[in-house]
Amino acid sequence: MKCVLCKQGKTRRGKVTVTLQRGETTVIIRGVPADVCENCGEYYLSENVTGEVLALGEDAVRKGAEVEILRYAA
């Protein structure tokens, strides 16, 4: 698909690192499958992946972690 941010690049399947900020908690999730723009690096997550990522984030917030670094399990 075409990147909606820069409107120049095309996206390609890849892996990204997603960082979530929830109040005091920072959650870093590595190896998240995404479509990544070849031009500007913007990434797009599928609905399923977004749900998983948010669920992981909520878990970390509930545990009261300040910084949580996770690996996405496909």
In the chain, at which residue ranges do the beta strands (DSSP E only) sit? 11-22, 25-37, 43-44, 67-71
Q: Reduced to 3 states, what is the DSSP secondary structure of residue 72? A: coil
Of the pair 26, 44, the CB lying nearest Zn ion is at: 44
What does the alpha-carbon distance between residue 15 and residue 33 come to, in Å, rounded to a whole number?
5
Q: How far is the CB of 14 from Zn ion (least distance, A)?
A: 13
Chain contacts with Zn ion (rule: CB under 5 A): 3, 5-6, 9, 37, 39-40, 42
Smallest gap from Cβ 58 to Zn ion, in A, equals 29
Least gap, CB of 56 to Zn ion (angstroms): 26
